[in-house]
Amino acid sequence: MISVLFLCYYKTLYGGIIMLDFIARNTPKVKENFILRSIDTVDGYDCYEVYSEDKKIVLAGNSNLILAMAFYRYLNEYCNVVITSGDYDISYIATTPLPDKKISHVIRQKIRARTSYEMFSLEGNYWGFDRWEKEIDFMAMHGINVAFQPVGFDGILFRTLCEIGMKEDVIADFSSGPAFIMRQLTGNVAGMNSINSNEYLERKIYVGKQITQREKELGITPVLPAALPSVPFNLRRKYLKMDIFKAPMWHNFPPIFFMKPENAFFEIFNKKFLNFQRELIGETSSYFFEPLYDVNQRGYNSHLISIGEALDDLLGEFDENAVCYTHLSSIGPDFFKNASADRFIIINDSDEDKPESVSY
């Protein structure tokens, strides 16, 4: 009776049903052998414990995500389980040896991020939710608390461009296929190998919503696109006062076109994009944007200054708690000239000197 009452209390605190489902879908044969408990953080840091009690394995943690870490720590030490990717199967586990000692661990890293643009181009954009479910569980077991989540971007792009008056066939041609959509999202290409249809894009939105919801349930913060990376050139015909310019050519691919962030259309269009994304993919206060990703920035200093200021204003008005991730190599030294460094979390992938105004 005590265990049942505690379990009900745990469900109220942390959504214990979510973690019971997590254990059941990963190790269905031994799902009854675990007890879940909540503990406080240690000096503000996540922590977990693993020990035995009444012939059960106790997993204690300060959140769902940390309980998933405790679960994997147990499997690793007592069931010889090593999981190196989301393409795993541990449903065969049929016995659960009791821990012979208490394991206590404090996780000293506040931000533990995973997934890259290249990963989505090679694999992630082709997965349905059944495969994504395993990937998310994999991330949770390894303590990942921040995950880039661009799945559904092409669908939101389609909705946004339809809303501002573009024809569906033009938009479908402008949006790249799954192998190149991430390079479109980072402002490198547009309309490459397009195989898109309205039906396909709506399915991508649906999968993206499922991913975002599951990540949030497990305590992983989804990081969604912050703005439209580029626009079709012929959008200029409908909006005569919209300023656009040719972006740097990426590895001899056809050029693409950016909206000038000083123009009012930048805010108008991107607020539509963000509202569609919030409605159809899910809520977040974490975003990512790459002003000039993997290209030579020479001659684009003024654009980087303008885009930094415009993004700061756009996200601040849309969500006062918004933060935006970006790579150091994508922004250049002048990005923060008129933008608040507090809004941005910099991924340092460069040996260049760090701007003095940025905290790492």
Return d(Cα 245, Cα 158) in angstroms, integer. Answer: 21
pLDDT tens per residue, range 270-282: 999 999 999 999 9
In sequence order, which residues have a C-beta less than 8 Å from that of residue 187 and are 6 or more positions away? 229, 230, 247, 256, 258, 290, 291, 292, 293, 295
Mean pLDDT within 229-248: 85
Residue 9 has pLDDT above 50, yes or no: no
pLDDT tens per residue, range 299-311: 888 999 999 999 9
Return d(Cα 304, Cα 285) in angstroms, integer. Answer: 23
pLDDT tens per residue, range 121-168: 888 889 999 999 999 999 999 999 999 999 999 999 999 999 998 888
pTM of this structure: 0.90
DSSP-derived secondary structure for 252-317? TPPP-EEEPTTSHHHHHHHHHHHHHHHHHT---SEEE--TTTTS--TT-HHHHHHHHHHHHHHHHH
pLDDT tens per residue, range 21-41: 999 999 999 999 999 999 999
* CA-closest candidate to residue 163, choices 308, 268, 267: 268
